[in-house]
């Protein structure tokens, strides 16, 4: 089997890189057939469990998502992706296409004042934690070994549900997805610095005088960030500002020290 098709089979399970998968499916009839088969099996299982037909609802949901005038031209690439995937019959891909729209809509609506730095952390939380279904199993083994000790610094009242490498808006991240006591999603997002990025020179506010943790008001989420020599680290959640900042402050020292050994 050619390597691209092997990767496509893996992607169908993990959806680690849906953009790539969509591109491959567009050009590969064999994998399209496989995706359709898997979907029929999956949908068949769901039907057996719930006896709820999904076809009509799926199509109408996509149409609603695509419908608003003005929206359409801006989101044409996603509309095209959704149309293709509907043709393929991939039910999982339709929520994916809708999520692409919601995700882009979130970033399209972000106030211009939101800093470039915090957008980096937000991008992965919104892409991966808020809208993506990540693989549930395997947590720490999906992390590069050097980053695994980060897990030991997560306070006990947070449950790590996924730890992995992921990509959002062209950047790679090491990403811990946690649940808080109220079952809300919390992300710890680690990104390698690019182009001299640093909180130190930014106009962002520190959570307290002399603190190494910075924060910013952004729509819908709370975000706090700190940095190691070569990395930016973000804590993003829907917790209240105090809890989000407290978590960042708690992990900032040990996580910074650890990341400085990775370099």
Q: Which is nearer to Zn ion, 79 or 225 (CB)?
A: 225
C-alpha to C-alpha distances, 231 to 49, 119, 191, 237, 262, nearest whole angstrom: 46, 15, 6, 20, 10
Cα Dmax for the chain: 59
Q: How far is the CB of 236 from Zn ion (least distance, A)?
A: 11
The DSSP-derived string for 20-89 is: HHHHHHHH-HHHHHHHHHHHHHHHHHHHHHH----HHHHHHHHHHHH-STTHHHHTHHHHHHHHHHHHHT
- Cα radius of gyration rounded to whole Å, the chain: 20
Q: How far is the CB of 100 from Zn ion (least distance, A)?
A: 15
Residues lying near Zn ion in the complex (CB under 5 A) are found at 5, 8, 28, 31, 128, 166, 175
Q: How far is the CB of 11 from Zn ion (least distance, A)?
A: 10
Q: Which two tokens stand for residue 91?
A: 């039910």
Nearest Cα to 127, choosing from 263, 22, 221, 229? 221
Q: Which two tokens stand for residue 122?
A: 């937000």
């Amino acid at each position: 089997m050619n390597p691209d098709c092997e990767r496509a089979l893996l992607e169908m399970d993990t959806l680690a890189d849906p953009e790539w998968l969509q591109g491959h499916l567009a050009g590969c009839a064999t994998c399209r057939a496989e995706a359709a088969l898997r979907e029929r099996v999956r949908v068949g299982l769901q039907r057996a469990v719930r006896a709820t037909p999904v076809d009509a609802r799926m199509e109408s949901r996509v149409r609603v998502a695509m419908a608003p005038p003005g929206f359409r031209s801006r989101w044409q690439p996603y509309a095209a992706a959704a149309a293709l995937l509907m043709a393929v019959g991939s039910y999982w891909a339709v929520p994916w296409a809708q999520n692409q729209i919601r995700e882009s809509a979130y970033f399209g609506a972000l106030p211009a004042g939101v800093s470039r730095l915090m957008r980096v952390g937000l991008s992965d939380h919104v892409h991966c934690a808020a809208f993506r279904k990540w693989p549930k199993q395997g947590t720490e083994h999906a992390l590069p070994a050097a980053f695994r000790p980060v897990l030991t610094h997560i306070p006990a009242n947070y449950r790590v549900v996924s730890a992995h490498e992921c990509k959002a808006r062209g950047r790679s991240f090491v990403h811990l997805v946690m649940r808080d006591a109220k079952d809300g999603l919390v992300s710890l997002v680690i990104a390698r610095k690019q182009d001299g990025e640093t909180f130190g020179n930014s106009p962002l506010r520190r959570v307290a005088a002399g603190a190494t943790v910075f924060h910013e008001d952004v729509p819908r989420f709370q975000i706090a960030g700190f940095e190691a020599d070569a990395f930016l680290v973000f804590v993003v959640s829907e917790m209240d500002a105090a809890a989000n900042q407290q978590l960042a402050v708690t992990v900032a020292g040990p996580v910074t020290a650890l990341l400085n050994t990775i370099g």
